[in-house]
Amino acid sequence: MKTGILFAVLRLIATTQAKQFDPYLSDLTHQAPRTLHHGWDNLTVETNTGTFIGMYNDTYPNVRQFLRIPFAQRPDMLLAVGLFDPPGQPPVGDLRWEPPQKLSNSSKVYDSTRFGPACPQYVSSSHVFWNEYAPPNPLLSLGERRDQGAVAWSSDEDCLSLAVWTPSYANKSSQLPVALFVTGGGGLIGGITVPSQLPEQWVSRSQEHIVVTINYRVNIFGNPKSRAVRETSLTLLDVRAAVEWVHENIQQFGGDRDNILLWGESQGARLVDIYTTAFWEKPLATKFGLLSNGPDYIINTAEVKDPHVDFDVVAKSLGCDYGDDSGAELECMRHVSWVQIEEFINRYDKKPSISFDNYIPDERYIFANKSDRYAKHLVARGPAIRSTTSTELEPSPNLTHTVEVARNFNCFALSDSKLRESIGLESFRYFYVGNYSNISPQPWLGAYHWTDLLMIFGTYAKMVGDIPQAEIDTSAAMQDYFVAFLKEGANVASSVGWPVFQHQGKNNGSIIEFGARGSPARNVTGGYLDTSCYSPSVSFPIFS
Ligand SMILES: *[C@@H]1O[C@H](CO)[C@@H](O)[C@H](O)[C@H]1NC(C)=O
Ligand SMILES: *[C@@H]1O[C@H](CO)[C@@H](O)[C@H](O)[C@H]1NC(C)=O
Ligand SMILES: *[C@@H]1O[C@H](CO)[C@@H](O)[C@H](O)[C@H]1NC(C)=O
Ligand SMILES: *[C@@H]1O[C@H](CO)[C@@H](O)[C@H](O)[C@H]1NC(C)=O
Ligand SMILES: *[C@@H]1O[C@H](CO)[C@@H](O)[C@H](O)[C@H]1NC(C)=O
Ligand SMILES: *[C@@H]1O[C@H](CO)[C@@H](O)[C@H](O)[C@H]1NC(C)=O
Ligand SMILES: *[C@@H]1O[C@H](CO)[C@@H](O)[C@H](O)[C@H]1NC(C)=O
Ligand SMILES: *[C@@H]1O[C@H](CO)[C@@H](O)[C@H](O)[C@H]1NC(C)=O
Ligand SMILES: *[C@@H]1O[C@H](CO)[C@@H](O)[C@H](O)[C@H]1NC(C)=O
């Protein structure tokens, strides 16, 4: 009864607050206009798994866009015997909660002029900076409110696709570097269609690189925690499947398969981090990027006795109660609607609490002891970008809190860089401090988690409000540093002056700071940024 009243009150508050957002059902016809009149010749790309027809957007006519390219079998598909080639032993039956299955060679023609659905997820009802400011961090709205508190209309189980943006001149012999981006979202949300992470402006301005962004399964669909699944780290295996597809086919789009940067922000950075130890032998990527990677996402099995309970809670509540028979439980859950499963998790607020954003160490792909992997050199080689922002996640008017969290993120970047340094791997660190009123309308927001992506992708210009020249310059500088890293790898140290980080070097290392007042890019030192990691009495510098 009490919770009933509480919910009614919360709903009332939510309804009142929601008024500032577009009304529910405002625009069900949403579909961005497409331009196909430029001719089809260089918009048609043949790959092993299909022929894809892309598009141009009149705003960026020098960019080819291929918005939906499946890279694995549909997870909602029922597989019949005999579809696969030996010697692999593919599953027969439902693909929900199975590892991504390779696509067969095909010459099927696909319309890639619109985005495919993102993986099953819901739009939170909370009002936080993620959805308060336009363009928001959650998925492109199809007309649902940004505080909908229900499943995202543009999500679906048939979601394993990626998108490719290339300069319009690119062809099979262009050999352009490829930036393969893994979006964030806490392991619960995210995907290609986040408006602030679409790279048209960046590719248009550079004309020297290709961007690929991928969808991957999230929440219980990517990280089921069932005892009966063959693999539990499906989210990571989706990333791997996408990298394999890109490595195999990107040359057709003008990309260089031997120059792939695998990079991600937040949860995307976590996945890149795990990827480097999971697929260290044959990473297929030669460079890595970990932006705002947060600590503590691998379950400590010494503390959590049974990490599988979370799946049981959902299954039993949805009528799949088979006692200890986890196989029957899983089979039953394969036939529950994904919408019902997502909505159940969305609304669940009982004990025990459940979560699907942290990973069970399986010691095959996800390892409990990262330092041990490094000590044994079981880590992908190649230089990496490692960065954080000045106010990170999440800033609040309580500066003590903001400083504490930002410090944790930065000190994790430092310890990661030291770990890499210990086995001769180069790290290029940056610290983003841009504080622009159109992106950070509250004085305490500063350079919060994800806002560096608005600079790199060039989407800051979509934000409402004045854009000072300093913001334009900072974005240009960040794009140029990234493209230099894409083209030259570790040589960026000499080419654009982005020094390798060395914690015992001069002034305890060099870090590039982007977005300081009066200086789009400048060197700061480990002595300045990292001292609070060694001496807790020293304050972390969130004000540049
Ligand atoms: C073209 O780009 C503009 C500006 O970013 C955007 O508003 C529009 O929706 C895009 N059109 C398509 C079809 O993606
Ligand atoms: C698919 O095509 C590629 C390129 O022709 C070839 O190398 C590969 O072996 C083919 N794969 C299968 C499963 O037939
Ligand atoms: C592809 O089309 C675009 C736009 O019409 C054009 O600028 C570009 O030169 C073309 N590239 C090739 C290789 O034909
Ligand atoms: C690719 O484009 C370049 C110019 O950008 C052109 O010289 C070359 O002939 C093209 N190659 C193919 C295979 O179309
Ligand atoms: C993790 O591995 C490192 C290096 O092998 C070792 O020193 C450390 O004790 C291990 N930590 C735990 C918790 O087992
Ligand atoms: C501010 O944050 C700090 C650190 O998280 C916390 O200890 C303190 O209670 C907070 N102060 C207020 C007024 O909420
Ligand atoms: C951001 O800028 C505003 C106004 O210029 C200032 O008041 C505020 O302290 C700055 N915030 C941070 C976190 O740097
Ligand atoms: C940073 O310092 C390096 C030398 O360590 C220098 O080459 C480079 O130009 C500096 N970068 C900036 C942006 O000042
Ligand atoms: C800082 O650098 C100096 C050498 O320049 C080194 O002796 C010292 O150990 C470094 N401090 C840390 C905390 O690594």
Q: Mean pLDDT in runs of 10 for the chain (544 residues)?
A: 34 40 59 61 92 91 96 83 50 85 94 94 88 81 86 95 97 98 96 96 98 98 96 97 98 98 98 98 98 92 94 98 96 96 97 95 96 98 98 93 96 98 98 96 94 97 92 98 97 94 98 96 98 94 86
Q: Which ligand is nearest to the Cα of residue 493, counting in written order?
A: 8
CA distances from 44 to 54, 106, 166, 285, 308 (A): 6, 15, 13, 25, 46
pTM of the prediction? 0.93
Nearest CA to ligand 2 atom 4: 48
State how far the Cα of 44 lies from the Cα of 54, in Å rounded to an integer: 6
Is the beta carbon of 404 within 6 A of some atom in ligand 6?
yes
- What pLDDT shows up at residue 28? 65
Q: What is the pLDDT of residue 37?
A: 55
Amino acid identity, position 337:
S
> Coil, strand or helix: which one is 302?
coil
In degrees rounded to 5, what are phi and psi of residue 394?
A: -115, 140
Q: Whose CA is nearest to atom 9 of ligand 5?
A: 372
If you measure from the C-alpha of residue 152 to the centroid of ligand 1, how many angstroms do you get, rounded to a whole number?
21
- For helices 326-333 and 309-317, the axis angle rounded to 10 degrees is 60
Strand-pair partners of 428: 385
Cβ-proximal residues to 5 (8 Å cutoff; 6+ apart), any chain: none
94: phi then psi, degrees, rounded to nearest 5: -70, 140
Tokens 């499943």 label which residue? 151
Question: Is the distance from the beta carbon of residue 371 to the nearest atom of ligand 5 less than 6 Å?
Answer: yes
Ligand 3 pocket, mutate which of 169, 176, 253 (most atoms under 8 A from CB):
169
For the chain, the straight-line distance linking the first and the last C-alpha, in angstroms and rounded, comes to 50
pLDDT at 349: 95
Pairing between strand 384-389 and 287-291? parallel
Q: For residues 136-152, b (16+ Cβ closer than 10 Å) or e, as one string?
A: bbbbbbebbbbbbbbbb
DSSP type of residue 490: G
**CA 182 – CA 191 distance, rounded (Å):** 8
| Residue whose CA is at the smallest distance from ligand 8 atom 14 | 522
Omega prior to 352 cis, within 30 of 0 = yes
